[in-house]
Structure 1
Amino acid sequence: MAGRPRSIMETAYADIKHRIMVLELEPGMPIDDISISKELGVSRTPVREALFRLSTEGLILSDSGKSGFFVRPMDLVSVSNLFEAHMVTARAIARLVAVRATRENLDEMKTAEQAVVRAIWDEDPAAVASTNAHLHRLEATASKNSFLESLALSIHDHGQRIGFLAFGGRTSWDLLRDHFSKVQGDHHELIAAYEARDPDLAEEIAGRHVLLFRDRIMAFMKMETVNDVNLGGDILSSARLD
Structure 2
Amino acid sequence: MNTSIKPLERPAGLADRVYHQLRDNIGSHQIRPGERLQEVSLAAQLGVSRTPVREALARLESEGMIAVEGRGFVVPELTDADIEEIYQLRFLLEPAAARTAVAEISSAADLASMASAIEDAAAAEKSGDFRAFLDANSRFHNAWRALIPNRRMSKLLDQYVGHVRFLRVLTLGDASARKTALTGMKNIHAAFKKRDADAAAAAMHKHLEAAKHFLIAAIEEIDQEKEAEQRASGR
TM-score class, shorter: 0.7 to 0.9
Q: Which moved more, 1:40-49 or 1:119-128?
A: 119-128
Residue-pair matches, total: 220
Alignment map for 1:104-143 (pairs within 5 Å): 104-121=109-126, 123-143=128-148
Code of the residue aligned with 2:59 in structure 1: it is R
> Aligned partners of 1:225, 1:73: CA distance in 2, in Å?
11
> What residue is the counterpart of 1:50 in the other structure?
56
Alignment map for 1:203-242 (pairs within 5 Å): 203-228=201-226
- Label 1:36 to 1:224 Cα distance change in 2 as closer, same or farther (>3 A): closer
SS at match of 1:5: coil
Residue 86 of structure 1 contacts residue 155 of structure 1 at CA under 8 Å; is this kept in 2? no
**1:83 CA displacement:** 0.9
> What residue is the counterpart of 1:150 in the other structure?
155
Residue 99 of structure 1 contacts residue 197 of structure 1 at CA under 8 Å; is this kept in 2? yes
Residue 133 of structure 1 contacts residue 156 of structure 1 at CA under 8 Å; is this kept in 2? no
SS at match of 1:69: strand
> Aligned partners of 2:226, 2:171: CA distance in 1, in Å?
13
**1:209 CA displacement:** 0.3
User: TM-score of the superposition, structure 2-length normalised?
Assistant: 0.79
> What residue is the counterpart of 1:13 in the other structure?
19
SS at match of 2:103: helix
**1:214 CA displacement:** 0.8
> What residue is the counterpart of 1:239 in the other structure?
none
Residue 98 of structure 2 contacts residue 201 of structure 2 at CA under 8 Å; is this kept in 1? yes
Select the residue among 96, 110, 115 that pairs with 2:100. Answer: 96
- Label 1:25 to 1:125 Cα distance change in 2 as closer, same or farther (>3 A): same
Deviations 1:68-125 (A, max 9, x none): 3332432110111111111121211121122223434322222333343344345444
- Label 1:50 to 1:119 Cα distance change in 2 as closer, same or farther (>3 A): farther
> Aligned partners of 1:127, 1:51: CA distance in 2, in Å?
28
Structure 2: gaps of 5 or more residues: 1-6, 228-235
Code of the residue aligned with 2:30 in structure 1: it is E
**1:184 CA displacement:** 1.6
Alignment map for 1:190-201 (pairs within 5 Å): 190-201=188-199
SS at match of 2:11: helix
- Label 1:185 to 1:223 Cα distance change in 2 as closer, same or farther (>3 A): same
Aligned-residue RMSD, C-alpha:
2.7
> What residue is the counterpart of 1:159 in the other structure?
164
Deviations 1:15-58 (A, max 9, x none): 32232113232224331111111112221122222222323433
Bigger relative contact order, structure 1 or 2 (CA pairs below 8 A, ≥6 apart): 1
Residue 85 of structure 1 contacts residue 155 of structure 1 at CA under 8 Å; is this kept in 2? no
Select the residue among 81, 84, 93 that pairs with 2:85. Answer: 81
Residue 37 of structure 1 contacts residue 43 of structure 1 at CA under 8 Å; is this kept in 2? yes
User: TM-score of the superposition, structure 1-length normalised?
Assistant: 0.77
**Runs of at least 4 residues off by over 6 Å:** none
**1:4 CA displacement:** 5.7
> Aligned partners of 1:84, 1:48: CA distance in 2, in Å?
30
